[in-house]
């Protein structure tokens, strides 16, 4: 299958290790991964902050970069939701039938990584080994927009050596919300404080999620508190093997 990796601007810029991990996992499963260099940002930050017009050229850029791939895989439930849920509305609003046609082609083929692995490829054991205590935060967009269900948990449960512990009040938001974290910093920090408390109650060494944006947020508080709890994207855990454990 010809897979186009949509790495997302955040992961590209701040978490390149997640992108390398996605490549490693997909190649280990025997797939060919391509990184179309014409990709940049899906436009979600602009769209969600009210700069809808500014997001339209980014949607055009995305559809241009990824035309022709059988599957577009991304390590972000949030960015996948943007493409799948909001691109059609954006194309309609821009009165751009060409963009609407491109979106109709590409949006249904854009998959968040865990959905692609567990539901599209039907693989839950990706041959990973990670002998650590891990708790999983289901990000809001994975849970309530993309509805990935338990795909990430099925993948984590199949990782050898991994001790998966439930996160109390797991389905509550971490308070990130994109520009919300800056525009409403006090409320955002208050929500995050409760999420951090829940994470620390688990005794986990690692907090895992399917979105680096939420991990950047919760992780930013965890390191500020010198909690010793690390944050890792799901792909990074799945990339670990007995031969290459970190």
Partner 1 sequence: MTGPDMTGPDMTGPDLTGPHPGMPTYLGMPSFPVAAAAAVADSQLRRNLAHATHTIREKRAVTVAELTDWEALRAAAKAIKDHTLANLDTYLLRLEASVTKAGGHVHWAQDATEANAIVTDLVRAAGADQVVKVKSMVTQEIGLNEALAAEGISALETDLAELIVQLGHDRPSHILVPAIHRNRAEIREIFRREMPDAPADLTDDPAMLAAAARTHLRQAFLSAQVGISGANFAIADTGSLVVVESEGNGRMCLTLPRTLISVVGIEKILPSWRDLEVFLALLPRSSTAERMNPYTSTWTGITPGDGPQDFHLVLLDNGRTSALADHTGRQALRCIRCSACLNVCPVYERTGGHAYGSPYPGPIGAIISPLMRGVTSPIDASLPFASTLCGACYDVCPVAINIPEALVYLRGKVVDAKREKHFSPERTVFNVSAHVLRSPRLLGAAQRAGSLAGRVFARSGRIRRLPPPLSGWTETRDVPAPPPESFRAWWARTRGAGR
Question: Which spans of this chain sit near partner 1 (rule: CB under 8 A)?
Answer: 7, 9, 11-20, 34-41, 43, 45-52, 54-55, 57-58, 61, 86, 140-141, 143-145, 171-173, 175-193, 216-217, 219-221, 223-224
Q: How far is the CB of 163 from partner 1 (least distance, A)?
A: 26
Query: Least CB distance from residue 158 to partner 1, whole Å?
Result: 26
- Beta carbon nearer to partner 1, 56 or 162: 56
Alpha-carbon gap, residue 125 to 172, rounded angstroms = 28
In angstroms, give the least distance from the CB of 181 to partner 1.
6
Q: Residue 18 belongs to what H/E stretch?
A: helix 16-28
Minimum separation from the CB atom of position 23 to partner 1 (A) = 8
- For partner 1, which is the closer residue by CB, 18 or 241? 18
How many angstroms separate the Cα of 143 from the Cα of each of 48, 128, 211?
Answer: 18, 24, 11
| Residue number, 159 or 181, with CB nearest to partner 1 | 181
Q: Which is nearer to partner 1, 104 or 193 (CB)?
A: 193
In the complex, the smallest distance separating the C-beta of residue 122 from partner 1, rounded to whole angstroms, is 27
Point out which residues pair with 5 in neighbouring strands: 73
d(CA 96, CA 45): 21
Tally of CA atoms within 13 A in the half-sphere of 218 that contains its CB: 32
Choose between 58 and 237: whose C-beta lies nearer to partner 1: 58
3-state helix vs strand vs coil in the chain, percent to 5: 55, 15, 35
Please tell me the number of Cα atoms within 13 Å of 127 on its side-chain side. 12
């Amino acid at each position: 299958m010809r897979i186009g990796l949509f790495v997302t601007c955040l992961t590209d810029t701040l978490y390149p290790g997640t992108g390398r991990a996605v490549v490693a996992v997909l190649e280990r499963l025997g797939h060919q991964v391509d990184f179309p260099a014409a990709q940049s940002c899906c436009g979600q930050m602009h769209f969600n902050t009210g700069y809808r017009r500014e997001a339209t050229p980014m949607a055009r850029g995305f559809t241009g970069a990824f035309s022709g791939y059988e599957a577009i895989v991304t390590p972000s439930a949030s960015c996948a939701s943007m493409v799948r849920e909001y691109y059609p509305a954006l194309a309609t609003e821009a009165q751009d039938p060409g963009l609407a046609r491109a979106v109709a082609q590409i949006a249904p083929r854009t998959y968040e990584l865990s959905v692609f692995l567990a539901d599209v490829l039907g693989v839950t054991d990706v041959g990973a080994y990670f002998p650590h205590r891990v708790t999983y935060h289901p990000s809001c967009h994975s849970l309530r927009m993309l509805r990935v269900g338990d795909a990430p948990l099925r993948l984590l449960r199949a990782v050898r050596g991994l001790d998966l512990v439930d996160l109390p009040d797991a389905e509550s938001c971490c308070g990130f919300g994109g520009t919300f974290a800056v525009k409403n910093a006090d409320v955002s920090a208050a929500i995050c404080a409760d999420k951090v408390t829940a994470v620390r109650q688990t005794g986990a060494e690692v907090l895992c999620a399917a979105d680096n944006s939420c991990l950047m947020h919760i992780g930013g508080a965890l390191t500020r508190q010198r909690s010793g709890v690390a944050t890792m994207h799901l792909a990074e855990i799945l990339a670990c093997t007995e031969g290459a454990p970190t």
